[in-house]
Chain A
Amino acid sequence: MASLGRFIRLTVGACAFLLVIAASVPCNAQQVNPTASSVKEQQLLQELNRIQGRVSIPDQRSGVLEQPAGRDWREFRNVTLRWIGGITIIGMIAVLVIFYLTRGMVRLESGRSGRTIVRFSAFERFVHWMTATCFIVLAISGLNITFGRPLLLPLVGFEAFSEWSQWAKYAHNYLSFPFTIGVALIFLMWIAGNIPNKVDVDWLKRGGGIVGHDHPPAYRFNAGQKAIYWIVVIGGGAVAVTGYELMFPFYLSGIEGMQLAQIVHSIVAVLFIAAMLGHIYIGTIGMEGAFDAMGTGDVDLNWAKEHHSLWVEEEQAKGHAPSGGTSRPVAAE
């Protein structure tokens, strides 16, 4: 009887020992990696798209710690934008150089008549030059934001680059206001002459007098000038709206909205710069007599008849322009 009781105790003890060992196996597995099934940062980003918490300062938006879109935006700003901007601007300069070397300056074929016609009033030239000078400063200071660090910093050093960039940013911010005023005035001032019409289609089909030596008729603004007008109005409006969205952060949108604004602002700006390079080319070395329009405001009557014949007829009918035009040609300067 005693041996039976010892046997039972041994059996129960062995079973209890095996039970303890069996129960300890999963415990050991959990101790090896207790956070194996916990939520990872990457999972949180994928599920919630952002990591944010609470902050003690009034602006609760500063509690956003991570948002994946920020990394995509940084990649755009530091890599993609530099490629887009570089190819667009250098490409346009290359096209203009090749065009000038092959086509040369568009000459005044009938020579100067010695008589002039008022092309732009003093106020129109004032608005044009105000917008243009602001645009040039905005373009240079804007390109510094994108290309300054990789291109200019190695050349001038940290101190000079910091000082220049600080003043360039001030100029970029504050000259945006007269630029915006200029774009608004340009829109109002020249809208009547810049509505596309059938004459523009014919002008484009005939190469606008730039390709070849044809002189298709045009009113006060030809199709090329109308394109520049709408680029200035729409492009200028886009960079102004997106620029103010960036200049006054969180007034109009959150982080994502400002990143989108920066993308639109920068892409429109580099396209705008490329278009204006073409405008500056044709208004200076690309066409004989063109600069007079914005220089003195008066253009030679022969120039006006060659490039804006329908407008000259309108002005002559109103008595605002001398009649004739090609009777007394003088040598071009």
Chain B
Amino acid sequence: MKAFVAALLFAAIAAVGMSILLNIIQEPSSVAFTTSGARVGDPGNNLVGPNG
């Protein structure tokens, strides 16, 4: 039972940790694909979320 609970905890921590890390590393599409010549609009709060 301890191994099972520890496994669940580790999986949850690893998943949340990776989501935070990827959100830090990756830019939102409206930022990544905007240049001085072309501005990509903020996708807003749709299905893919504000950072989609």
Contacts and interface: CB of A to CB of B under 8 A. Distances in A.
B4 A129 contact: yes
A130 B15 CA distance: 12
Contacts, number: 56
Nearest to B26: A248
A264 interface: no
Q: Considering residues B2, B11, B37, B47, which has the most beta carbons from chain A within 10 angstroms of its beta carbon?
A: B11
A122 interface: yes
A253 interface: no
Interface string A158-193: 000010001000110111011101000000000000
Interface in B6-23: 6-8, 10-11, 14-16, 18-19
Interface residues of B, number: 20
A162 B6 contact: no
Q: Considering residues A123, A177, A297, which has the most beta carbons from chain B within 10 angstroms of its beta carbon?
A: A177
B14 A125 contact: no
B27 to A, nearest CB: 12
Nearest to A129: B7
Prevailing SS type, chain A contact patch: helix
Contact of B8 (A133, A181, A297): A133
Interface string A285-326: 000000000000100000000000000000000000000000
Interface string A46-88: 0000000000111100000000000000000000000000000
Interface string A90-101: 000000000000
A117 interface: no
Contacts of B47: 162, 166
A178 B15 contact: yes
Prevailing SS type, chain B contact patch: helix
A171 B16 CA distance: 10
Nearest to B49: A166
Contacts of A56: 37-38
A283 to B, nearest CB: 14
Contacts of B16: 174
Contact of A125 (B3, B10, B18, B38): B3
A59 B33 CA distance: 7
Contacts of A128: 7
A168 to B, nearest CB: 12
B33 A178 contact: no
A232 interface: no
Contact of B15 (A57, A59, A166, A174): A174
A178 B10 contact: yes
9 contacts: A57-B35, A125-B4, A126-B3, A126-B7, A126-B10, A130-B10, A134-B11, A173-B19, A178-B10
Given A56-B38, A58-B33, 14 more contacts: A56-B37, A122-B2, A125-B4, A126-B3, A126-B7, A129-B3, A130-B7, A130-B11, A133-B8, A166-B49, A170-B19, A174-B15, A177-B18, A178-B14
Closest 6 CB pairs of A and B: A130-B7, A129-B7, A125-B3, A174-B15, A178-B14, A178-B11
Interface of A: 56-59, 122-123, 125-130, 133-134, 162, 166, 170-171, 173-175, 177-179, 181, 297
